[in-house]
Structure 1
Amino acid sequence: MTWAPHVTVATIIERDNRYLMVYEEADGNKVYNQPAGHLDPNETLQEAAIRETLEETGWTVALTGVVGVNLYTAPSNGITYFRTTFIAKALSHDTQRPLDTGIIEAVWLSYEELVARKDQLRSPMTLQIIEEYRAGRRFPLEVVG
């Protein structure tokens, strides 16, 4: 039997004590999440994080570090996700760029606003990884090959 988790990436972008989030439709619900998505064939994890952030938010970013690598098994479908979460700096925003299908909008939310929306987060990992980032958890980009 072959078991393979889904490889995904996410990006934490903080500016003025606010986090860039996507408000999206997932599994029939409207939820908040970091810009995130699946690794495509023939791309690096870093390339995937930059691409997904641009596609979901219209923001071009520069990666500056890694917060962590986590496993999460979604109770809704039983799929296990192997997620690398990067830290990035916002560089520029293309307001005319269409966002990925399912993305309602990109929004900047404070930590307090995220906590208030805890029931609307895509998964518990959404807030958990921000709390790890806020606690100072940082690794250099070089930890990811």
Structure 2
Amino acid sequence: MSKRGKVWLAAAGIVEYESKYLVVMKKYGGLKGKWSFPAGFVDPGETVDEAAVREVYEETGIVAETIGIAGIRSGVINNDISDNLVVFHMKRTGGTEITETAEIATCAFLTKEELLADPRTSSMIPSFLNGMDQFMTEMNPGNQFQYTTYKLMYHTPK
């Protein structure tokens, strides 16, 4: 069993700046070659919002702060591992873009229209950018992830 055990917790950041969204293209895993929001696992001794801030900085060089919760992605891998991601709305406060790291092939600020038109955009991005007005969506993000259950839950202001 991995050091994370069978319940995983990660954080992602939706950083909007000048009507564009910060996205990364990872070099590995199921998101290799796909635009996705900066994200990663919560480290011991760290809160989920702190993890989002850290991951955005580590993957992109952009300094940002959390300003709200966009939603949660919760799935089960192979009927065994609970994989959970808290997605935050974030505000850029500084930093300069990094073009490449050990994990990231590239990062960029792209418009909603660019992301929705690009076939390399991960399946989760359109759901969050289109401002879902429902609470939950079930979907299959791709067989490469081996999810047996996959749900997106959105913040729905009253």
TM-score w.r.t. the length of structure 2 is: 0.70
Distance 1:60 1:36 in 2: 14
Distance 1:133 1:85 in 2: 14
Counterpart in the other structure of 2:126: 127
SS in 2 for 1:132: coil
Counterpart in the other structure of 1:70: 73
Choose 85-94 or 126-135, whichever is displaced more: 126-135
SS in 2 for 1:26: coil
TM-score w.r.t. the length of structure 1 is: 0.76
Displacement, 1:4? 2.7
C-alpha deviations, 1:82-104, integer Å up to 9, x for none? 01001111011145x68542201
2:51 corresponds to 1:48 = yes
- Calculate percent identity across the aligned residue pairs: 27
Q: Which amino acid aligns with 1:34?
A: F
Distance 2:75 2:121 in 1: 14
Counterpart in the other structure of 2:90: 88
Counterpart in the other structure of 1:34: 37
SS in 1 for 2:34: strand
- Of Structure 1 and Structure 2, the greater helix share is in 1
The answer (yes or no) to whether the contact 1:67–1:87 under 8 Å persists in 2 is yes
Question: Kindly tell me: are residues 133 and 51 of structure 1, through their superposed partners in 2, closer, same or farther at Cα, counting changes over 3 Å?
Answer: farther
Counterpart in the other structure of 2:63: 60
Distance 1:53 1:23 in 2: 13
- Aligned-residue CA RMSD in angstroms? 2.9
C-alpha deviations, 1:11-54, integer Å up to 9, x for none? 00111211001122233731111010111111000110000000
Counterpart in the other structure of 2:26: 24
SS in 2 for 1:30: coil
Displacement, 1:134? 9.4
C-alpha deviations, 1:57-103, integer Å up to 9, x for none? 1011111111112213568xx854201001111011145x6854220
Q: Which amino acid aligns with 1:26?
A: Y
Q: Give the total of aligned pairs.
A: 132
Counterpart in the other structure of 1:143: none
Distance 2:21 2:133 in 1: 11
Distance 1:72 1:110 in 2: 28
Provide structure 1 residue ranges, at least 5 long, that are not aligned to the other structure: 141-145
Counterpart in the other structure of 1:114: 115
Distance 2:53 2:15 in 1: 11
Indicate the structure whose relative CO is greater, using CA pairs within 8 Å and at least 6 residues apart. 1
